[in-house]
Each structure stands twice: as C-alpha cells, then as structure tokens.
Amino acid sequence: MLNNTAAADNQRTIVVSQKSMKSTFKQSHEFIFSSQDFTSAEEIILSLLCSRENVINVQSEDNPVGQVNAYLFEPDILVDIFNTDSKNLYALLNDACKNLMKTRSKYETDSNGSKFEHANLFTKCVYDSSGLLLQPSQALYDQLFLSSRGFAEIEQGGFVSVRKNRHAMRLLRILSRFKNDSGLHPLKLESLKTMFGVYDEHGNVLKKSYTQNSQFMNRVVKPAIEILSNNSVLNKRLTLINGQDGNLGYQLLKKGSKVDRIKFLYKWSQPESLSDSRAYEYTKDEAYNRARELMMARRSNRELSLEELYELKACFEIHEKNDFASMIDEEIIQKEETLKKMKDVNEIERSYDFSIFESDLA
C-alpha cells in the first residue's frame, strides 16, 4: 500500500503501532469552535490523526510550518480503538472515510462579488491488511494544527469511551479547550448550535429540527451531559456541577426575558503526574520539536500558560537536559505564586452590592 499512496505524492509516511500510541490528542482552538457534524467513527479517525501532531503557534513569523505527513495506523490499533472485531473494520471505516473525503464547500458574497471555496479534508484514505492510511490535505492540516489562539488537549481514553453518542464526543472536545478554573465563558446558544452543525458558519440552517432551543437542549446538550457525567473513565478528571436552576452541567442565561446564552458548569482536576515527563509520552523527536515550538513562542513574547510550562519542562527532561528543566521549574513556581496572588486579590477586591435585594425582601 505504501508504494502506491503517500510515497507517490512525495509525502512522508509514518507507521503507527500500538506501542507508539499516545494517551491524548490536540486540536486547534479554531477547529474546536468551527461548525462540525461528524459521526462517532469520523470523530475517532480524526482523533487518531490528531494524536500524531502538535498544534503550532502561528503568531510568530519565525515559527516554521511542519510538513504534512501521512500516517499508517496498524490493524491492532483500529481493533482496539473501535472496540470491534477485525472483520468489521472494512465496513465501518469505508463509510466514515468516504464521508470524510467529500468536498466541503463555502459560498460567500460581499462588496467584491461572489466567492466559492471547495476543499477536501483528506487527499487519500486507504484501508487494507496493513491498516488505515490517512493522508490529510494541506487545508485540513492548517485547520487542525495551525493556531494563533491555543489548542485543546483531549484524553483519548475518555473520548473513545463515549463513542456511542457523537454529541457527547463533540461536547467533550469543547469542554477540553479550557481546563482552568474559569472554564468556558458563556456561549450564545446560536453559536453552540453552529458548533454542533445545526447551522453552517454563515448561519444557513443544516438541521431544521434542532433550531428551536428546547429541541436542541433536550436532544443534543442534555443527553451529552448525562453521558459525560456518568462515564467512569471521565469521572476521575471531569466534574459536572449543578446550576442554580438544578440543571446538571449548565446554566441558561437570559437577555431580558429571552434565553440566549449557556454557561457550562464543570471542573477539570489536574492529573496526578502533570509535572512528570512520562505523562506526555513523547518520543525524543516529538519532545524536541515541541520544545522548539514553545521556545519560539516565548521568543515572540507570548507568555506560556502554566500547562505549557509543565510541558516544556517535560520535553527537556525527556532529553535529560536537567539544567534547562530546572530553569523552567523556577518559572513554574513563580507563575503558580502569581496566579495564587491574583486569585486572592480578586477575592479581596471584589465588592458585593446587596442593596439590590432590599425591595424584594421588604
């Protein structure tokens, strides 16, 4: 298969075995919040591809754009991740890959006239006895892995464990974008519908039955939250919190008398081994490349997040550059102290006006 596919297009093919599989995958902020409507099988196929690449910060002109690689996932990986017998893989993968190969179209009209854009996510998907070869297009690579706004890191085990409900998979990716204490800011319900493919990115209706808020909440959001909250794999890291109105995992917010936004209520706990280099499961090549990307980001005056500092420290430790790791560790300590002080100051300086309740209680 390799001689007839990626090699023919002068594209490097990397064979992925069960031993080299990672426990997480990353997707750009821009991709996470775009309009999507993938089946569960398509979600898993994309997660396999994303587990092999790092998201590149494109804020700096010095930051290189990596080569678009093709990946061959061996059969044992496919059997494990789809939790099925090998004889079922052909039919399962054929339908999903055929749909992923379809042309995605955009149509726009502005003062300069009309425009259309047609693009494919993959230039080739091939399945045979040696496994599944995924050859992404440049357009998909750019959308998934080039970002000026950060990325989401999703745990593969938890993601695959909710594959019976594709909406739960989609919501998990969204909730994985911000794992700090503040979480996601309130989202407009219409924006959330777009993320779930009810509308395209220009507001055109794709799923008429979900345009009504009640239908969207009852058939998409609530079942997804219930599945995430009852999942034993995710329960170790993700906690969904009851809102003031008793709804698990979210609070609906009004503008005037009309519900127009949603605030997801959740909390991520840090993995026990966040500071352990083994938690990142990088090869030496991957660790070096990721360290280079993060150092380039620092050089462009972008402040690294606490999670990125831990990751950079781990990359140095993988290469036994303990002097570099120690310097990053000092930055981590300083950043943690700064974040704690900021939180304390915010608590002290925040004022609460209880006079607004006087008329209600008089």
Please tell me whether residues 194 and 146 are part of one structural domain: no
β-bridge mates for residue 266, sequence order: 240
Work out the end-to-end distance of the chain between its first and last CA atoms, rounded to an integer number of angstroms.
79
Global pTM reads 0.72
Cite the DSSP H helix spans in the chain.
29-32, 40-50, 75-82, 89-100, 138-145, 156-161, 166-175, 189-195, 213-216, 222-229, 284-299, 306-318, 322-349, 358-361
What would the pLDDT profile of 197-255 be if each residue is shown by its tens digit? 999 888 899 999 999 999 999 999 999 999 999 998 898 889 999 999 999 999 999 98
233 lies in which domain range? 179-269
The residue type of 279 is A
pLDDT digits (tens, 9 = 90+) for 51-62: 988 788 776 544
Is 296 domain-assigned? yes
Question: Do 152 and 189 belong together in one domain?
Answer: no
pLDDT at 69 exceeding the cut of 80:
yes
Would residue 354 count as lying in a domain? Answer: no
Residues 219 and 291 in one domain: no
| Domain membership flag for residue 50 | yes
**Do 226 and 83 share a structural domain?**
no
In the listed set 241, 269, 297, which residue is the last one of a domain according to the structure?
A: 269
* pLDDT attached to residue 4: 42
Q: Model confidence at 272, in pLDDT bands (50, 70, 90)? A: low
Cβ atoms of 69 and 12 closer than 8 Å: yes
Across 95-109, 124-138, 140-154, 269-283, least confident range: 269-283
CA distance 154 to 348: 34
Q: Do 29 and 124 sit in the same domain of this protein?
A: yes
Give the lowest-confidence range in 14-23, 227-236, 281-290. Answer: 281-290
Q: 255 and 200, same structural domain? A: yes
Q: What angle do CA 303, 305, 310 make, to 5 degrees?
A: 120
Assess if residue 172 is contained within a domain.
Answer: no
Give 146's DSSP letter: E
Region 329-345: mean pLDDT is: 78
Q: Are 235 and 260 part of one and the same domain?
A: yes
Q: 291: closest CA among 272, 320, 314, 263? A: 314
Question: Residue 361: inside a domain, yes or no?
Answer: no
Return d(Cα 278, Cα 274) in angstroms, integer: 9
Last residue of a domain, one of 269, 297, 329: 269
Q: What is the CATH number of the domain that holds 235?
A: 1.10.10
- Residue 348 belongs to a domain: no
Angle CA 178–183–186, to nearest 5: 115
Total residue count of the chain as it appears in this document: 362
Burial of 26 per CB tally in 10 Å (0-12, 13-18, 19+): buried
Residue 271 has pLDDT above 70, yes or no: no
Give residue for tokens 């698990």. 248
What CATH number is given to the structural domain containing 149?
1.10.10.10
* 67-76, 121-130, 179-188: segment of lowest average pLDDT: 179-188
Please report whether residue 141 resides in a domain.
Answer: yes
Whether residues 304 and 323 share a domain: the answer is yes
For residue range 166-213, what is the model confidence (pLDDT) as tens digits? 999 999 999 999 887 777 899 999 999 999 999 988 889 999 999 999
Say yes or no: 155 and 10 in one domain: yes
- pLDDT beyond 70 at 276: no
Place of tokens 């494109």: 58
Domains contained in the chain, number: 3
